[in-house]
Amino acid sequence: TDVYCVVGHPVAHSRSPWIHTRFAQLTGQALRYERRLAPLEGFAADLQAFIQAGGRGCNITVPFKLDAAQAAHSHSPRVALAGAANTLVIAADGHIHADNTDGLGLVADITRNAGIPITGRDVLLLGAGGAAAGVLGPLLEQKPRRLVVVNRTHAKAQTLVQQHAAIATLHKVELVALERQVLETDLTQNFDIIINATASSLAGDDVPAPASVLHARSLAYDMMYGPAAQNFLNWASSHGALARDGLGMLVEQAAESFALWRGVRPPSAQVLDELRDVLA
């Protein structure tokens, strides 16, 4: 049987083995999926060991998404844009191809599972780190009307926007970086979809945006799930917005990876329902 894995540090908490094992059962694919704890300074060596042992694909989690992009022999345009990879596809001859399915997973969860279109809408992306960079390209491909990036460190938001200027133009999206202060003072700045790609909750800090960015039909989406998402979800709900955590993004990015490896699309909506029951 072909072997797949999730590589991270830490990795014990990862739900990917559960998700992919369930995908394999439901699609009748014979495969094994394991966790790998790679040493912080030893991603490339660990990957080689996995390939020697017959490994055919990996999901990559914190802190190795950059290492994964660099270890690959080829990569998709999405990896080039994000500067990071969450999926490696390993051919029988050992060729390593890198892709990034995080943004596709986010878009699939918002548009299909939540049933909310991004096309033509106004979107606010909070954060400009690796998590934000990983999803901006696929968000722009949905052709929102306007996409605003706001980050604590404004220069990072500006850099991210510059890196995506060409794809924004291609899709006729108004893409801008705004200073947090503008959100505070200009109360006309509200959005249909607000996506939290910051780590502010991990620092125990407040949501890094004023409630005036929400309107009554806004979707407020946290890319995290579990306790890390709770503060943002409570903030959104208490201001009347629809709140959604990132569990569906987790399952949908996994489904995109699974499809790249096996050429088969798993029933991701069903597996998301099952996972919510498991975690409840």
Q: Which residues sit opposite 125 in a β-bridge?
A: 149, 195
Q: Which is nearer to ligand ATR, 84 or 89 (CB)?
A: 84
Residue nearest to ligand ATR (CB): 129
Q: Is 159 annotated as a binding residue?
A: no
d(CA 92, CA 51): 9
Q: Is 102 annotated as a binding residue?
A: yes
Contact pattern from residue 156 through residue 175 relative to ligand ATR, giving x for each residue in contact according to CB under 6 A and a dash for the rest: x-------------------
Using rule CB under 6 A, residue 151 touches ligand ATR: yes
Q: Is 143 a catalytic residue?
A: no
- Residue 40 CB, nearest distance to ligand ATR (Å)? 15
Cα torsion through 116, 117, 120, 123, rounded to 10: 50
In terms of residues, how long is the chain?
280
Q: Is 61 annotated as a binding residue?
A: yes
Specify the 3-state DSSP secondary structure of 8: strand
- Residue 8 CB, nearest distance to ligand ATR (Å)? 13
Near ligand ATR in 45-84, by CB under 6 A: none
> Judged by CB under 6 A, how many residues of this single chain contact ligand ATR?
17
d(CA 17, CA 254): 10
- For ligand ATR, which stretch binds (CB under 6 A), given 23-31, 130-138, 186-194, 248-256? 130-138
Which of 29, 163, 200, 230 is in the footprint of ligand ATR by CB under 6 A?
Answer: 200
Using rule CB under 6 A, residue 228 touches ligand ATR: no
Tokens representing 233?
Answer: 């979800």
With vertex at residue 185, the alpha carbon angle to CA 182 and CA 189, rounded to the nearest 5 degrees, is 65
Using rule CB under 6 A, residue 131 touches ligand ATR: yes
Alpha carbon distances (Å) from 228 to 197, 198, 236: 12, 11, 14
Q: Which residues sit opposite 243 in a β-bridge?
A: 220
Q: Which residues of 92-107 are buried (b: 16+ CB within 10 A; e: fewer)?
A: eeeebbbbbbbbbbbb
Q: Which is nearer to ligand ATR, 3 or 176 (CB)?
A: 176
Q: Is 146 exposed, middle or buried (0-12, 13-18, 19+ CB in 10 A)?
A: middle
Catalytic residues: 65
Binding site for ligand ATR (CB under 6 A): 127-132, 151-153, 156, 197-200, 203, 205, 208
Residues annotated in a binding site for shikimate: 14-16, 61, 86, 102, 225, 253
